[in-house]
Structure 1
Amino acid sequence: MLAVSASFSAPQDRGLLAHHVAGTVERRYQTDANARPSEEADDVGQVVHRRPASMIPVSGENAGVPYGAFETTPLLSTPVPCVLKAASYTSSGARAAVRDEMKVLLRYSLPVFGTHLFEHSIMMATVISIGHISTVALAAATLGFMTANVTGLSILQGMANTLDTVLPPAWTSDQPKLVGLWTQRMTILVCVVLIPVLALWLHAEPLLLGLNQDPEIARLASIYLKWASLGLPAYAFNCVSRRYFQSQGLFTVPTRIILYLAPINIFLNYLLVWGPEPFCLGFIGAPIAASISYNFVAIAFVVYGAFFVPRTAWHPITLRAFTNLGYLAKLSIGGIGQLASSWWSWELVGLVASFLGPVPLATQSVLITTSSSFFQAPYALGIATSVRIGNLLGERDVERAKTVVRASFLLIIVLATLFSSVLITFRRSWGYLFNDDPEVVNLVAAVLPLVALVQIFDDAGAVVAGILRARGKQVLGATLNISAYYVIGLPIGLWLTFKRDFGLFGLWWGLNIAMAYASSIGLYICLTTDWDKEVEKVVARLAVDKGYQPVDEEHAH
């Protein structure tokens, strides 16, 4: 019934649900009986919609910006969406709406998954390249990579996640240029944070020696971090840029860019680590290759944003970028706590496993790799859910925001069931994908049922985190994770491992308990959210930004 364009955009997806809404659409435009229709094209030039040229405000600060977008109009062409009245659904209409939202979330999630997968390949290519030099070199690269994760990458990712709160609602509001303004503000904060992180990376050897690391491994790991620091600013910029595009529904832009550049990274790793003279640099060639790749990605983001998409979301660079930094910093601290508390706990579990012996350590490496690989899909779904809900809050569409919550949890149930079934079905042969040692393979098979159980809680937690980010509840998410992992899960896991002699099983029981606690409470919080108040918070945030006033959502209503 509705034509669907090739562009992935929120207004376009709005059309999928329009025929389910038992309400009317308010369209603010001036009618001209003699107006000629004008053609609207998507970002690849395909005409997807005709509308009267007069459907454009003739006065006010948004003069010249189309208000009354039809549902099939791409988001880039129509920055200001229509405003839906509070909708009610029949039972059959509600089920159809949930199904349609599931389709939207899947379409959003797939390119996000691809982006993270190919970005992960940049680091994996580095480790693989160094791994063929020597065991000591591999250990140093692994130590350097873990240090980078804990002291830098997790912090930057947590800060970038904060943009899921402010960018999507701004894009679907009547002030789409706030997307660019909030992006500039986050860039300023990231630059401030980069100063101590870079200082640590450039002087990491004393820290690693203080942690009783082997002197040679600590020396090489510090060299790894020094050369990797060349790409850290670009990595931070890329984290922010992805959110800038994703908030506009342009989920495929980061995927396309990194898809083209991932093979270049592989080539650079070969050339700089193993290539002919004078290109062969050995150990330092791998972090240099990664740094060059991240800088290439950053340049590609700038070029794409400047020349290949309309600048509807961009805000001129002014001193306004230095306003409301306190509010964004508060959200960022919560975002770091929400992501890093979980990220660091997995690193800590791996460290504890090293005290159990070589076989449990090797087994834990297999299990962590398996769990983190499977987690990429629900993590992508969490990002898609956050963006989708944020867009709907910007439209003040309470009913469909509720629908997205239900749809996201239905999808995660399917994903978790699928992943858990795969692990249970292939548990006896799974270890052979990573190792040929029978002891390791047997222990992997024995612990995999606990890993399969973890998938259910961990996957649900990814969606919960996305919903909390959409609401600006990063501090709540951080509190939930910290209490789950460090107050409940890890202490119980350590007690079971060392006091009850459960070994590796004890650690995974602790993780299960932690995630069951966090996901169950998070699920309750998400399902009992007052979305009318969330809309009020978004409206207040947008309104005060118009008046150059600091944001204080706690007292906004």
Structure 2
Amino acid sequence: MSTHSGIPGFLPCDHPFLAASMGHDSFEEQTQKKFRNGTENAPTQIANGIAPQPSISFVSPAPVIMANLPTENTPLLSTPIPSIEEGVHCSNKRDCPSTWVIFREELGVLAKYTLPIFTTHLFEFSFNIASVVAIGHISTTALAAATLAFMTASVSGYAIIQGLVSALDTLLPAAWTSSPRLVGLWSQRMLVVTTATLIPVLMIWFNAESILLLLRQDPEVAHLAAVYLRWASFGLPAYSFNCVSRRYFQSQGLFAVPTKIILVVAPINTFLNYIFVWGPEPIRIGFIGAPIATSISFNLISISSIIYGIFYVERTAWHPISVRSFTGLGCLVKLGLAGVGQTASEWWSWELNNLAASFLGPAALATQSVLLISSSCTFQAPFALSLATSVRIGNLLGKEQARRAGISACAAIVLAVAISVIWSTMFISFRQSWAYLVNDDPEVVTLVASILPLVAMYQVFDGIAAVTSGILRARGKQLVGALINISAYYVIGIPFGIWLAFKMDTGLVGLWVGITVSLIYCSVWGIYLCITTDWQKEVRKVLDRLAVENKNANQAK
């Protein structure tokens, strides 16, 4: 992070090695030293009969036979470092002096990366829609219980896992273009971290009824919600694994792999929801059929990912399972906990907003549901772009292309605005009839139409905030993102929205004004941090992180 922000430029795990290894030399001098010593010229060294050494210190040439000794780095260094094929031939300032040319190329690359990610997340979002539709026709109580259960699952489980796994957005893409086998190693370590995290989460889910009763929820609704969570818990380990495996594939540029899998599983999930909830008598199990269908679907995704990874993907990024998979977890935990603060703080703010809306009456709550579903669907596009941006910038930092990484960050923000304008135009154009997609109550239709122009403006800042969060993750700045989100939502937006809604009698409009103000705040800070970033410094952080891992690997031998 740039020192302009006044916040420390790196987490403790970023530079533990920098002062000792670099001394007073410049970054360029260090790069030249490493190049001479074999850390950046491995393919040429092998061709000349020299065994590459991962250490930064100078080593004497060894006979060619030494290059054939099996070491942890042999498969990687015996071939050129892999790169993602993207049709971009400009690799440095000399080859492509025009910023505009690089900008256009990055727009194309980001668009190509975003499309399959968007498809994946949209179809995964359909899992929730299928459950709601299936249960919604049982009874109002059942629907309320399912909604409460999913809200509890999101706050106490899904948001935490997503936040922890966001650490991989920092580590994997840069590793892929510099030291690919670390992609597999860090993925294994994250599985260890998330597995340990599942224990307290599952304890909450299995004791949900008593917790919900303490929160003064209706006893019948609380009981059904607890039943839903118990059955949904069978899919939680698979959900955690899927979050990690998706990053594993995407960091290698294999964006289509999760998309292919979800395109097969999503129809199966819809079919299972229908069969289990409304199917023939011998198969129909009613309310619990929806969480069982979702759990089966998550496990099918996990099984398919394992099969695809074993039989259809090159093993370049794979790291043999060893004791190292259970070591070096500190950096992941630090980045992951900061990621929880960044991700969960936003998820929790929406739950608080929905709770506030429930005090405004049935019509306002129904309107909130329509607007929330609509915004959640459109959010999948900028969220996909944010993940694509994390991968792209991480890859470029790993390849030491600082200038292109900075231009790519700016291109991502421009693309986010373009996508948001499309959604805004759609909402404004169809605002009078939009509510009919979900509800035909005249009061709800009128209220939705009156708020949609505000939601249309909200889209622009929501898109920018999502993408700048992805840029922060690529830089390992989850803690900065968490501080921005917490201050935006809990200090500014939500209190301001509640004051407008209940003190100034603006109702649901006030709540949406508050959330929009939060996102304006996030967007302004995000853009500022992007344009003031020292990208050469970000490259140094990546090189240093990889140097530490190589040093640890040597010590482990």
Same fold (TM over 0.5): yes
Q: Which amino acid aligns with 2:405?
A: A
Give, in whole Å, the separation in 2 of the partners of 1:68 and 1:439. 64
* Preserved contact between residue 341 and residue 478 of structure 1 (Cα < 8 Å): yes
Matched, 1:385 2:395: no
Partner SS, residue 492 of structure 1:
helix
> Using a 3 Å threshold, how does the CA distance of structure 1 residues 68 and 236 change in structure 2: closer, same or farther?
closer
Gaps of 5+ in 2: 1-39, 48-65
SS in 2 for 1:192: helix
1:280 Cα offset (Å): 1.4
Match of 1:107 among 101, 112, 116: 112
Q: Does 1:521 align with 2:525?
A: yes
Cα distance in 2 for residues equivalent to 1:316 and 1:388: 26
**Counterpart for residue 435 of structure 1:** 439
The Cα of 1:71 is off from its aligned counterpart by: 7.8
Q: Residue 95 of structure 1: CA displacement? A: 1.3
Shift in Å at residue 277 of structure 1?
A: 3.5
2:468–2:527 CA contact under 8 A, matched in 1: yes
Paired residues of 1:408 and 1:463 also in contact (CA < 8 A): yes
For the residues of structure 2 that align with 1:32 and 1:168, how far apart are their CA atoms? 25
The whole-number CA distance in structure 1 between the counterparts of 2:90 and 2:538 is 16
Aligned letter for 1:182? Answer: W
Aligned equivalent of 1:245: 249
Q: Deviations over 1:145-201 (max 9, x none)?
A: 11111110111111112200000011000x211000000110000001100000111
1:171 is aligned, of 176, 179, 185, to: 176
SS at match of 1:133: coil
1:280-335 alpha-carbon deviations (Å, 9 max, x no partner): 11111111111111111111111111111111101111111122211110100111
- Equivalent residue number for residue 125 of structure 2: 120
Instruction: Give the whole-Å Cα distance in 1 for the aligned partners of 2:188 and 2:82.
Output: 30
Q: How does 1:421-460 map to 2 (within 5 A)?
A: 421-460=425-464
2:187 alignment partner in structure 1: 183
Select the residue among 356, 362, 373 that pairs with 1:352. Answer: 356
Is the Cα contact below 8 Å between 1:113 and 1:377 reproduced in 2? yes
Q: Quote how far apart the aligned CAs of 1:343 are.
A: 1.0
1:297 aligns with 2:304: no
Residues 359 and 315 (structure 1), Cα distance of their counterparts in 2 relative to 1, 3 Å cut: same
Cα 1:315–1:83 change in 2 (3 A) is farther
Q: Distance in 1 between matches of 2:384 and 2:207?
A: 34
Q: How does 1:358-369 map to 2 (within 5 A)?
A: 358-369=362-373
State the match for 1:158 in structure 2.
Answer: 163
Matching residue's letter, 2:480: L
Aligned residue type for 1:503: G
How far apart are residue 123 of structure 1 and its match? 2.0
Q: Percent identity?
A: 57
**2-structure distance, mates of 1:546, 1:178:** 10
Preserved CA contact (<8 Å) 2:126 2:266: yes
Q: 1:392·1:401 contact (CA, 8 Å) conserved in 2?
A: yes
CA 360–312 in structure 1, closer or farther in 2 if over 3 Å, else same: same
The residue type equivalent to 2:427 in the other structure is L
**Which amino acid counterpart does residue 411 of structure 1 have in structure 2?**
L
Cα distance, 1:393–1:70 mapped onto 2, change above 3 Å: closer
Tell me the SS of whatever aligns to 1:547.
helix
Partner of residue 481, structure 1 = 485
- Does residue 416 (structure 1) correspond to residue 420 (structure 2)? The answer is yes
Query: In structure 2, what residue type is equivalent to 1:201?
Result: W
Residue by residue over 1:178-235, the C-alpha shift from the partner in whole angstroms, topping out at 9 and shown as x without a partner, is 0000001100000011000001111100111111111111101100000000111001
Amino acid in the other structure paired with 1:238: N
Offset, 1:278: 2.6
What secondary structure is seen at the aligned counterpart in 1 of 2:317?
Answer: coil
CA gap of 1:449–1:82, structure 2 versus 1, over 3 A, is closer
- 2:542 maps to 538
| Residue of structure 2 equivalent to 1:42 | none
Q: How does 1:188-203 map to 2 (within 5 A)?
A: 188-203=192-207
CA–CA separation in structure 2 for the residues paired with 1:69 and 1:435: 54
User: Relative to structure 1, is the Cα distance of residues 140 and 402 closer, same or farther in structure 2, using a 3 angstrom cutoff?
Assistant: same
Q: Quick one: distance in 2 between partners of 1:406 and 1:420? A: 21
**CA RMSD of superposed structures (Å):** 2.5
Contact 2:81 2:180 in 1 (8 A): no
My pick for the range that moved more, 264-273 or 251-260, is 264-273
Provide closer, same or farther for how the CA distance between residues 305 and 296 of structure 1 changes in structure 2, counting only shifts above 3 A.
same
Amino acid aligned to 2:341: G
Deviations 1:493-513 (A, max 9, x none): 111111111111111111111
Q: 1:157 to 1:492 in 2, by over 3 A?
A: same
Instruction: Provide the C-alpha distance between the structure 2 equivalents of 1:118 and 1:32, rounded to a whole number of angstroms.
Output: 46
Deviation at 1:104, TM superposition (A): 0.7
Structure-1 residue corresponding to 2:14: none
Instruction: Provide structure 1 residue ranges, at least 5 long, that are not aligned to the other structure.
Output: 1-25, 34-56, 76-80, 551-557
Which of 315, 340, 343 pairs up with 1:336? 340
Say which structure, 1 or 2, has more relative contact order (CA 8 Å, 6+ apart): 2
1:481–1:518 CA contact under 8 A, matched in 2:
yes
TM-score normalised by length of structure 1: 0.85
Distance in 1 of aligned mates of 2:90 and 2:366 = 55
Structure 1 runs, 4 residues or longer, greater than 4 Å off: 26-33, 57-75, 81-89
Q: Is the 8 A contact 1:241 1:301 kept in 2?
A: yes
Counterpart in the other structure of 2:552:
548
Which residue does 2:271 correspond to in 1?
267
**Residues 1:371 and 1:535: Cα distance change in structure 2 (over 3 Å):** same
Alignment size in residue pairs = 495
SS of residue in 1 equivalent to 2:217: coil
CA distance in 2, matches of 1:414, 1:283: 41
Amino acid at match of 1:162: A
Once residues 242 and 296 of structure 1 are traced to their aligned partners in structure 2, the CA distance between those partners, rounded to angstroms, is 14
Q: 1:394 aligns with which of 395, 398, 401?
A: 398
Q: How does 1:75-154 map to 2 (within 5 A)?
A: 87=94, 89-90=96-97, 93-154=98-159
- Closer/same/farther in 2, CA of residues 59 and 74 from structure 1, 3 Å limit: farther
Cα distance in structure 2, aligned partners of 1:329 and 1:71: 28
Larger fraction in helix: 2
**1:68 CA drift (Å):** 4.7
